[in-house]
Structure 1
Amino acid sequence: MPRNPTMNDVAREARVSLKTVSRHVNGETNIDPELAARIGAAIVKLGYRRNLSAASIRPGRTSKTIGLVFSDLANPYYSTLARAVESVADAAGYLLTIASSNEEGPRHDRLVDRLLEQRVDGLIVVPPRHAARDWSEVPPPIPPLVFLDRPALFSGADAVLADNAGGARDATLALSRAGARRIAFVGDSPDIHTMRERHAGYAAALAEAGMAVDDSLTITTAHTKEQAERAVGALLRDDSADAVFAANNRSTIGALLAFQQAGRRLPLVGFDDFETSLLGNPPVSVVSQDIELMGRTAAESVLGRLRGDTSPVSTRVLPTWLILRGSEKPERN
């Protein structure tokens, strides 16, 4: 593995003193513009990054740290993923550093850069809905990298996904078989890969059942449970839908809140199980995915690369399964 470039390398490339490079890297501005330009060009050419962990790493040792960047720290889905990644990393003697991009491309890039500056040994990322920078623009070396929950955006990286389309198809067909003919899709933005895949599965199930996608029943603005509650509340008020496929856990919770407010419910299947899904009457039917397995698989993939695994990069798609608990059926009068 090639060694990481140092400030000495930058100084030699830019033909300046080490002290001048240090001042530039640490943000000092009273540097001759010509020298600053040469230093900046050398940094880009060599792919130099500040080593924020240098003081705590002895020569020949690694940081024993894995970085995890996901989308939303407040979402229980990602907290479960993080816990699973951490359990595997900890067992192997690695510290997990976690950061949330909030689905913002520039923030995601800053977090990735910061983790790389800290010399993490491996990196697991959930790409944001709008990438701000192509991974080809990230200066090498890039440590072992796994894309989680969404497809790989870098040719040298592994990926771990769930069968989003298949799970959404199963959920929609269950609602259709229970008698629904106007099934609403309630979820987040189609800019998110998982939402696109789940809507594709929903559309495939409608076609299989002899129904067409109705754009008026396709809601892709429910990023929060409150937004989902308002959307489902509108469906209840105008009687435009006779069932709901909620495309993530927040949309499911929002639908339940709308049912509670209206004093009646529609047949419902949600994507992703959650802790209180069994407390309703009836309990909530869900498409379940093994979130812990997804996190463990990603962590094991990174650790395998660190231990010398040189097999071709791969995308692993984990199965989902439908759990019917009764909420997919019409309400009894």
Structure 2
Amino acid sequence: MTAEIPPRQGRTTLQDVARLAGVSAKTAARAINGESNVRSDTRERVFTAAATLKFRPNRLARELRQSARTGAVGLVIGNLDNPFYSQLAAGVDHALREHDLELIIASTDDEPEREKVVVQAMLERRVTALMLVPSATDHSYLEGERQLGLPIIFLDRPPVTVVADSVLWDNHTDVRKAVHELATRGHRRISALADSPELFTATERLTAFREALTEAGIAPDETLILTSIHDATSAASATADLLARDDPPTAIIALNNRISIGAVSTLLRDDPTCAFVGFDDFDLGETLGISVVTNDPREMGNYAGQIALRRIREGTGTPERISLPTRLVQRGSGERPASSPHPSTRGSRPAPGLSGSD
């Protein structure tokens, strides 16, 4: 190489590599891309120049020149701080990693308007497939992409006003089973804590809750059904308000993991004898003896990843709607019989699930 190393400010370009190697930019590109019509000595000069300049090829730009899509799959989720979503992403990544596909993750914080912004950013990246946990109530904005052949897979919640693959939970069977178990232990004042009723999962689980009460001969008391609880802090506050009533519930069902965490923190402090069942497992759930309707987010992510791979390989076909099972895990807190706790004794009882059988 006879050329001098050019002074640089910022990232090294392909033109810099070509200049140092004494070749054209086209020849440098062919050498770096591994094309066969490049002499071995020329290829060696280009690689040496690239290493000297610490050149990093722009994979995205190369893919966009070669095809309409990149080698990336987009995953749009709710809150990054929710362990459910991290497990979900791990399942997707496990399905994709052996197929030379990168996973790009973005969060909407469950805000419908932000969903459209995040999805648009994914589409501008020319992802080869799109997976999302939706928060919007209208997905017609994706119809054009679907018609162009982009694989779109919805997770946890189904699409609205667009036809696409979806992987969901069975939100009914084990919620109903949990209510029936509480009813057989004498509970008649059973409370439910749920997220926004605009969310599919919250609505489905509340429907199952009400149906199970009716089947058990218990008239649903809407004053015991609290919604729009978005996090552990609001769940803790809602639980405290319930327990402070003149006629508090003897059992509580929390319909997602963040609500469970907040509710349990209040119950441990104010009334550990109140029966409790959560939906989705959470850290320390087993240690504290908390009964839950559990699922496997990794399994959901893996299913979605497999569908994406098949759609990428075979093209779009008849959309699938997969319903994955849940499981009621009894650890003690949901098996407590109904009682009438007195305010003077609240806070002095052992934690749920840690006091032996009742």
> Please, what TM-score do these two structures have when normalized by structure 1?
0.78
Aligned equivalents of 1:264, 1:277: Cα separation in 2: 14
Larger Rg: 2
Equivalent residue, structure 1, for 2:194: 187
Equivalent residue, structure 2, for 1:102: 109
Asked if 2 retains the 8 angstrom alpha-carbon contact of 1:105 and 1:132, the reply is: no
Gap runs ≥5 in structure 1: 1-51
1:177-204: CA deviations, max 9, x gaps?
A: 2221110001111100000000011011
Aligned equivalents of 1:106, 1:138: Cα separation in 2: 18
Asked if 2 retains the 8 angstrom alpha-carbon contact of 1:105 and 1:131, the reply is: no
Equivalent residue, structure 2, for 1:269: 277
1:77-123: CA deviations, max 9, x gaps?
A: 11110111111111221100000111112211111111111110000
Asked if 1 retains the 8 angstrom alpha-carbon contact of 2:250 and 2:275, the reply is: yes
Aligned equivalents of 1:294, 1:181: Cα separation in 2: 34
Aligned equivalents of 2:303, 2:237: Cα separation in 1: 37
Asked if 2 retains the 8 angstrom alpha-carbon contact of 1:105 and 1:133, the reply is: no
Amino acid at match of 2:191: A
The alpha carbon displacement at 1:61 in A equals: 7.6
1:233 aligns with 2:252: no
Equivalent residue, structure 1, for 2:302: 296
Asked if 1 retains the 8 angstrom alpha-carbon contact of 2:174 and 2:327, the reply is: yes
Equivalent residue, structure 1, for 2:85: 78
1:252-287: CA deviations, max 9, x gaps?
A: 11111111221534100111112310121xx01110
The one of 241, 245, 251 equivalent to 2:253 is 245
SS at match of 1:211: coil
Aligned equivalents of 2:236, 2:144: Cα separation in 1: 40
Asked if 1 retains the 8 angstrom alpha-carbon contact of 2:75 and 2:105, the reply is: yes
Aligned equivalents of 1:264, 1:129: Cα separation in 2: 38
Q: Which moved more, 1:207-216 or 1:135-144?
A: 135-144
User: Judging changes above 3 Å, is the alpha-carbon distance between structure 1 residues 263 and 313 closer, same or farther for their aligned structure 2 residues?
Assistant: closer
The alpha carbon displacement at 1:319 in A equals: 0.9
Equivalent residue runs for 1:1-333 within 5 Å? 53-60=60-67, 62-131=69-138, 134-136=141-143, 141=148, 143-153=150-160, 155-238=162-245, 239-280=247-288, 283-308=289-314, 310-328=316-334, 329-330=336-337
Aligned equivalents of 1:132, 1:124: Cα separation in 2: 13
Asked if 2 retains the 8 angstrom alpha-carbon contact of 1:104 and 1:130, the reply is: no
SS at match of 2:104: strand
> Please, what TM-score do these two structures have when normalized by structure 2?
0.73
Q: Percent identity?
A: 36
Gap runs ≥5 in structure 2: 1-58, 338-351
1:28-58: CA deviations, max 9, x gaps?
A: xxxxxxxxxxxxxxxxxxxxxxxx9435545
